[in-house]
Amino acid sequence: MSRHVYKPMLAKVAPDAFTDKDWIFEVKWDGFRGISYIEDEAFSIKSRNEKELKYNFPELSELAKLASNIVVDGEIIVMIEGKPDFQALLERGQATSAGEIRKQTNKAPASYIVFDILEKDGKSLTKLPLMERKKILKDSLKEGPHVFLSDFIEEKGEDYYKAVLDKGLEGVVAKNKESSYEEGLRTGSWRKIKKLKTCDCVIFGYTMGAQAREKTFGALVLGLYNKDGKPVYVGKVGTGFTQEMLGDLMDKFEKLKTDAVPFKPEAGDKISWLEPKLVCEVVFQVVTKDLRLRMPRYKGLRDDKLPGECTVDQLVELKKIEASFETENKLSEYESKRNFQQTPEPVGGEKKGEKQIFVIQEHHARRLHYDLRLEKDGVLKSWAVPKGFPETATQRHLAVQTEDHPFEYAKFEGSIPEGQYGAGTVKIWDKGHYQAKFWDENKIEFTLEGQRLNGRYVLVWLKKAQGKEKSWLLLKGKE
């Protein structure tokens, strides 16, 4: 057997599917991660927390006849009616007696989907590119009744993701073709894209049940660990339980009761506190700004996860990705109109200072106009103003809303080449900070604090300008 115990490479959460020739896409299976060590006619399957899994899944012993002297990575799943069933898998993993294991094996046989090879004939392969490892895997492991090689497609991640969801599966994992196998790390070379957001949480207690749940519990009290190793409350989950789950959980809770209070509960909650020994997976819709789970639903216990692995980084990373993706979406029109190999304009991204900035750029294109840009939500909201800024409250100048621009555009001056969108010379006419007094889809009131302009201005959307949904009026407000 390999003397080295490998830690599984991890995938970062991605907000949506994508198409890229440098990536491959595989099904994200809803199962137990397992690294298998196969030597001669002996084998071992270790979970993420190094628990031996082969005794609970004896049908996977066929691995010893399908390969020799290799270490592979894969996912153990149980299929019920053509779909992975995590609850059935959980029951398989919790069986202890030989009779119960045999019964569960016959009732719900497991499959092992192998997607990577880490070692062959005592030599580590982790530094090789993914596609080279895939080729070695195919040459080194035969498939059997319970062991399969993971299928994948190249480039067309969006189409594949849609097809996977249509089959009722959880999502896909995107992997860079050149990625090495980075043990225990979550670098972004692998990305998981799921229809639903999930989080692995520690169960710190439960609230009292009522009516039909009077003898069990109302909701689980969930927490995660911060960077200092202290527990942080992230919410409660009271849905997603079967009657059997409620009973099984109460049996486990009896041995874990404690008087220790890890964090302040919500007002009015009467909680039975538990030692933080159990990890559960929760499906949810939104993470709030204070990192609370909204509309969570219980999915099941995760015996393959250690409580210490359940950190707030799961939610912090998700919030960062969502914010980044929102900005990317805002700038998609800007990017689609430009060839950045030819124009000196910035590609840009999201940035934000303590005060919101504005810039007015004098743009000598086919016709001279001025571009007003106001920072909002990490980008520059933009309007082309053909006649410049009104000087009195009686003047009304047309302002045509254009695509959002990246924050870096506030510093841009230069010549956009002929043949490119907006060809001509751009120079900064005024810049500074601004304060938004009111902002909705129909009206924006703001005060400029610039080098040239100071004072109150108003943008009003021209609802009645048919076919000109981007037309606004720019007015100088009364001080």
Catalytic residues: 28
At 314, is the secondary structure helix, strand, or coil?
Answer: helix
DSSP 8-state class, residue 63: H
> Beta strand pairing status for 396-406 and 379-385?
antiparallel
* Contact assessment for residue 382 and residue 372, using Cβ atoms and an 8 Å cutoff: yes
Q: Nearest 5 degrees, angle CA 286-CA 292-CA 294?
A: 40
Distance between CA atoms of residues 206 and 236, nearest Å: 8
What is the rounded CA–CA span in Å between residue 457 and residue 436?
10
How large is the angle between the packed helices 86-94 and 98-107, nearest 10 degrees? 160
Helix intervals (H) in 198-312: 243-253
Q: Are 431 and 413 in contact (CB under 8 A)?
A: no
Cβ neighbour number for residue 394 with a 10 Å cutoff: 8
Dihedral (C-alpha) 179, 183, 184, 185: value to the nearest 10 degrees? Answer: -30
**Backbone angles phi and psi of 137, in degrees to 5:** -60, -45
Q: Say which DSSP state 410 is in.
A: G
Question: Is residue 316 helix, strand or coil?
Answer: helix
Rg of the chain, C-alpha, whole Å: 29
On whether the CB atoms of residues 348 and 420 are closer than 8 A, the answer is no
Nearest of 408, 199, 177 to residue 309 by alpha carbon: 199
